[in-house]
Amino acid sequence: MLALLTTTVGKTVDFSGRNITQVPIESFTADVYTVRLTGNKITHLGSFNTTPHIRFLFIDNNKVNNLSPQTFQGLCKLRVLDLNRNYIVSLRDFIFSDLTALWSLFLSNNLISAISERAFHGLVSLEFLGLAGNRLSVFPAQAIRLIPSNKLL
């Protein structure tokens, strides 16, 4: 059963801890504001382009291992993206390029060993980037220079 909560700022869809293996995107309406998919067995993320109003997206503690540029395409209102505790191994060019309103990007405790120089292209509003607990031996300086925020922690 879909957990749907209505708040003054939009709807929340909560599929946390349900052992789902795929994102149930067909269950999301266009006015969804927050999506919680925490603690499942999701390995692949499709596209969220049918839900352009999402502000908060929690996909932490899953089994996601690959990110596609199409996954986050059109999510220009997204503020928080939590991908902590997954199996992501690399961040490719332009993977987050549509996320121009993103404030916080959580990527800690994955298996990230490679970050391309243009992985963070487009993150003009980013203030927090969490990468702790990964397998990075080299961090491309150019990747961080693409984030214009002087508040980046």
Dump the DSSP string for 35-64: EE--SS---B----TT-TT--EEE--SS--
86 is in which domain, residue-wise? 1-153
**pLDDT value, residue 8:** 40
Contacts of 2 (CB under 8 A, 6+ apart): 13, 15, 24, 27
DSSP H helices in the chain: 141-145
Global model pTM greater than 0.85:
yes
* For residues 51-79, average pLDDT: 95
Q: Count structural domains, the chain.
A: 1
36, 58 in Cβ contact below 8 A? yes
**pLDDT value, residue 142:** 77
21, 44 in Cβ contact below 8 A? no
Tens digits of residue pLDDT in 99-136: 999 999 999 999 999 999 999 999 999 999 999 999 99
Domain with 103 in it: what CATH number?
3.80.10.10
* Alpha carbon 60 to its chain's center: 9
pLDDT band at residue 90 using 50, 70 and 90 as cut-offs = very high
Residue with tokens 């709807």: 11
**pLDDT value, residue 107:** 98
